[in-house]
Amino acid sequence: MEYLADYLRYGEPLFLAHQAGRSRRAQSKGKKMRVWFITGASRGFGALIAEAALKAGDAVVATARDPNTVTARPGQHDRLLATRLDVTSEAEAHEAAGQAVKKFGQIDILVNNAGYGLLGAIEEASAAETAKLFNTNVFGVLGVTRAVLPHMRRQRSGHVINISSVGGYTGYPGWGVYGATKFAVEGISEALAGEVAPLGIKVTVVEPGFFRTDFLDETSLARTAQHIDDYRESVGNTRAHAADVNHGQRGDPRKLASAFIALVNAKNPPMRLPLGSDTVERIEAKNTFVAKELAEWRTLATSTDFTDEAA
């Protein structure tokens, strides 16, 4: 909470400078700088988180399919290792993790950020489109995590941060298949948190709302090839809304990057961190709906247990 108070007190630019000063003082006292391993670091959230970590005095292993695109923003840096990683290749994930440990000696923070969206009705999404999305958004997360966890287990420390979405907490028409990948990431994160807690490793799943990035552009968002006219009033409205709000979303991506610094500095980080007022609103609305529905159906829901007579 101390770091959150600092963020609210100083604002983003001064907060990052303040954290960098803390990091330099910590290193001068013999503490090691942290090493981040970030997937999808060439643009969007990944690039901004990498920049914020460097400004905070940490080392960053920034991965992308083309590592040259990583250094285009922060430039060359002695605490930056840009390396190739296609998250759909577990062999590349192990190679990248090995390079990280060879250069910096450890991996303290894993940010599973790489992924993309798919807009379309569930029926409109083909088997190939669905499999391709899961291969990146779910199996990619699993592969990279499997590559990094042995190093964290050896250290008996680390923080795994998986980026989900508001769509990983509540479903939207048109985002069903994409949301399914993020629901999967949420379940993986919850289970993983329990598995690695005894090893000194922390897990947080981050749920961003809509931020002013290129997520709704063609570079990050795929659209189903098939459009079914019967879905024009539901999914059609979602398609229109996505086009209307693109680059006008509520969320400030630089503030999200600053929030990541506050997150990793927290002594007891949350298992789930929503980011964005829209996410908070949707979570509160869903929790209210679930509680109301559960109350209405509690009698039937609890009626299926064995009774003493039936047992």
- Residue 134: inside a domain, yes or no? yes
Give the residue numbers spanning the domain of 56: 2-279
User: Along the chain (311 residues), what's the average pLDDT of each consecutive run of 10 residues?
Assistant: 53 50 45 90 91 96 92 78 96 98 97 94 97 98 98 98 94 93 98 98 94 60 91 87 62 88 97 94 96 98 87 56
Q: Is residue 305 part of a domain?
A: no
| Residue 169 annotated to the active site | no
Residue 62 resides in a domain: yes
DSSP 179: H
Which spans in the chain are helix H? Answer: 2-10, 12-28, 44-55, 90-104, 127-137, 139-155, 176-196, 235-245, 253-265, 277-301
Three-class HEC string of 213-266 = CCCCCCCCEEECCCCCHHHCCCHHHHHHHHHHHCCCCCECHHHHHHHHHHHHHC
pTM for this prediction: 0.85
Active site residue 164: yes
CATH code of 118's domain: 3.40.50.720
Q: How far apart (Å, rounded) are the C-alpha atoms in residues 197 and 5?
A: 26
The whole-number pLDDT of residue 24 equals 43
Q: In whole angstroms, what is the distance from residue 303 CA to residue 298 CA?
A: 8
Burial profile 250-261: b = 16 or more Cβ within 10 angstroms, e = fewer: ebebbbbbbbbb
309 falls within a domain: no
Q: How many domains does the chain have?
A: 1
Is 10 designated active site? no
Q: Is residue 296 part of a domain?
A: no
* Residue 270 lies inside a defined structural domain of this protein: yes
Q: At what angle do helices 176-196 and 127-137 cross, to 10 degrees?
A: 30
Beta bridge partners of 112: 162
Q: Is 80 within 8 Å of 59 (Cβ atoms)?
A: yes
Q: Identify whether 293 is part of a domain.
A: no
**Residue from 164, 165, 189, 258 carrying the catalytic annotation:** 164
Is the separation of the CB atoms in 160 and 112 below 8 Å? yes
Q: CA 168, CA 172: separation in Å to the nearest integer?
A: 10
Predicted local confidence at residue 211, as pLDDT: 73
* Class of residue 294 by CB neighbours under 10 A (exposed 0-12, middle 13-18, buried 19+): exposed
Which 8-state DSSP code applies to residue 111?
A: E
Q: Does 310 fall in a domain? A: no
Catalytic residue among 3, 23, 182, 189: 182
Spatial separation of the C-alpha atoms in residues 264 and 110, rounded to whole Å: 11
Q: Could you say which of 3, 178, 202, 258 is catalytic?
A: 178
CB atoms within 10 A of CB 289: 11
